Amino acid sequence: MSESTSLYRRHRPHSFDQVVGQQHVVRTLSNAITQDKVHHAYLFVGSRGTGKTSMAKILAASLNCENGGPTLTPCGTCESCRSIAAGNSVDVIEMDAASNRSVDDIRELRDRVAFAPTAGRWKVYILDEAHMLTKEAWNAFLKTLEEPPPNTVFILATTEAHKVMPTIADRCQRFDFQRPSIEQLSEVLTRVAAAEQITIGAPAISMISRSASGSFRDALGTLDQLVSYSGNEIALDDVLEVLGAADADLLFGVVDKVIEADPAGVLTAVEQMARSGRDPARFARDLLGHLRVLLVTQTTGQIPEAFAVTAADPDRLVRQAKAIGPANLIRTIDELSAALGLIRDGDEARLAVEVALLKAARPDFDPSSEGLARRLERLESGVRPVAPPPIQESPPAPSAAPTPPASEAAASSAPPSPPAVAEAEAAAPAVAPEPPKPQAAPTPPEPSAAPTPAPEPEPYDLPKLEQVWPAVLDSLGASASGMVASYFDGTVPVALDGTKLSIGFPADAAFSRRNAERPECRQQLAEAIKVVTGDQFQVEYASLDSGQEVADPESEVMEEEDFIARVKSEFNAEEVI
């Protein structure tokens, strides 16, 4: 075979013992040959590059080898073996069903089936991409497949088994070819590199195996391309350059910046990736693969052997898996997956990746309700963003605080504890004329976080419910279907008696009210009210007078002091100077 032949064709396995993986197929076919129980039709199913055609040729060579065939170890030197390997055997007919899919093509094949083998003992028909045959062609082929002449074998290879007619699949023995693992791909690459005298390190082989996505043909094709690029000495940098893939340090660095909530660091890492000329979409896929390994490591407590690149630094992988929280990890995976979907839809790749990583690193950059939930989650877990140093520099502002009268300065110097001073300074702007009040702060130093919810449990009155009613409807739209939420458009709380809350419907909303009367709709509304207010109400419905207008909470103008006091009460906030 000429030296210009591709590595994949040159190193195709020629016997069952050379096959890597697919042991269930190898064992079954081997037993069929030794026990003389070869079936007349086989259906090989699997993704591209998993060895379907190679296995079919090995079976054909085993059946027709002139040196002791049928045999499990065809010699590879006889005329039959050499012609089968070259693809010009008169007894082994390869047919591309993608380009020979008509009824006439199948009729021609059916006419040739009637002839006995010429040189060998068996006639083998290999139909590649068999799912491409038309329905009429399948029907014309059905009878021949069901009752072929003696010593005739049909092997149908396909990547989409669901497109093969059930009447055809029922007459075949089906074998599902599994995607090879990264270890199996590395084994083949190492063997081929040694045979071709190619010098390549383990990290480079691992990167090629990862990029092949479970395809022997793609892995060897990439190795062939790298030989053309850099000769017989291939370095990891050559692989990264040709594939446009991200190396392990860059992947680790990006995840570290997400853990640290450092948006500037995230953008710097993306800029580094872009300057290297790598594809942002490929970078996102590599990062997703890295995050998957972190997820498996975090869940199982063990580093998956299938991960090739970072396996060289297992300690760093374990540390990062422990550092990133499960929720943060899942969230980052979701954001990157969504970004890849946007890229497939035509969005600018780099921008989509940057926005996804920024949302992962800083949930406060996400204006959606999901972003709000993430911020609350971080507050509960005590995680603070490292990003905004300007806020860290604001403590010198207390130097401006001594401007109040001397009596207040004397009072502030009395308490020695820094927390008390901080609380006094925070309270000073709200009650500036009365200095004695800040001194009351030192009394609850330890349980200062516990008493703060005390002002919150104020019962909701009707005006307050009217103000939060738009938020209730938004919550209903988020938790229930849009149709259910539409039933309550134009409604407003009209009466409150203890826990009984009456909701007024406009006079022209009879249809919406009838639908809202359903128990499930009433329950969903009650749950939405509880989400916003924290209280459980028994919901009743009423009709609004024709002249009664729904109050618009946004039309109410609130004084600045009242607004600040309400924010402090509702969100347990502190005023920062």
Radius of gyration for the alpha carbons in the chain, expressed in angstroms and rounded: 36
The reported pLDDT for the residue numbered 427 is: 40
Same domain, 121 and 23: yes
Domain with 169 in it: what CATH number?
3.40.50.300
Nearest to 460 by CA among 498, 403, 429: 498
The verdict on 328 and 431 lying in the same domain is no
Nearest to 268 by CA among 279, 257, 260, 259: 257
Of the three residues 152, 176, 200, the one that is the final residue of a domain is 176
Regarding whether 163 and 47 lie in a shared domain, the answer is yes
Other C-beta atoms lying within 10 Å of the C-beta of residue 497: 10
- Residue 394 pLDDT: 42
270 in the same domain as 368: yes
Task: Render each residue's pLDDT in the chain as its tens digit; 577 residues.
Answer: 445 678 888 888 888 988 988 899 999 999 999 998 999 999 999 988 899 999 999 999 999 898 877 888 888 888 888 888 888 888 888 888 877 778 888 888 888 887 888 877 898 999 888 888 888 888 888 888 888 888 899 999 999 988 888 888 888 999 999 988 888 898 999 999 999 999 998 888 888 888 887 889 999 999 999 999 888 889 888 888 888 777 778 888 899 999 988 888 889 988 988 887 778 888 888 898 889 888 988 888 877 665 544 445 778 888 888 888 888 899 899 999 999 999 988 888 899 999 999 988 887 666 555 555 555 555 555 555 554 444 344 444 444 444 444 434 333 334 444 333 334 333 444 444 444 444 444 444 444 444 444 444 466 778 888 878 888 887 777 766 667 778 888 888 888 888 888 888 888 778 888 888 888 888 888 888 888 887 888 888 888 864 444 444 343 445 566 666 666 665 666 766 6
Residue 457 inside a domain? The answer is no
> Is 572 within a domain?
no
Same domain, 47 and 170: yes
Q: Is 464 exposed, middle or buried (0-12, 13-18, 19+ CB in 10 A)?
A: middle
What local confidence, expressed as pLDDT, does residue 389 receive? Answer: 45
Note whether 106 and 58 are same-domain residues.
Answer: yes
Which CATH number belongs to the domain containing residue 528 in this structure? 3.30.300.180
Dihedral sign computed on CA atoms, order 553, 556, 558, 562: negative
Query: What CATH number is given to the structural domain containing 307?
Result: 1.20.272.10
Residue numbers of the domain that contains 407: 397-441
Q: Which of 70, 52, 64 is nearest to 13 (CA)?
A: 52
Residues 159 and 186 in one domain: no
Residue 170 shares a structural domain with residue 318: no
Q: Residue 158 in 3-state DSSP? A: strand
Classify residue 289: in a domain, yes or no: yes
Whether 17 is in a domain gets the answer: yes
Query: What pLDDT was estimated at residue 30?
Result: 93
Own/partner contacts of 367-370, CB < 8 Å, gap of 24 or more, are 369/478
CA angle (253 as vertex; 303, 385 as ends), nearest 5: 105
Residue listed under structure tokens 């103000």 = 467
> Residue 195 domain-assigned?
yes
Looking at the domain assignment, is residue 22 inside a domain? yes
Q: How far apart are CA 139 and CA 31, in angstroms?
A: 32
Q: Does 573 fall in a domain?
A: no
Shared domain for 194 and 162, answered yes or no, is: no
Same domain, 186 and 258: no
Overall number of domains in the chain: 5
CATH code of the domain covering residue 201: 1.10.8.60
What pLDDT, on a 0 to 100 scale, did the predictor assign at position 404? 44
> Is 397 within 8 Å of 577 (Cβ atoms)?
yes
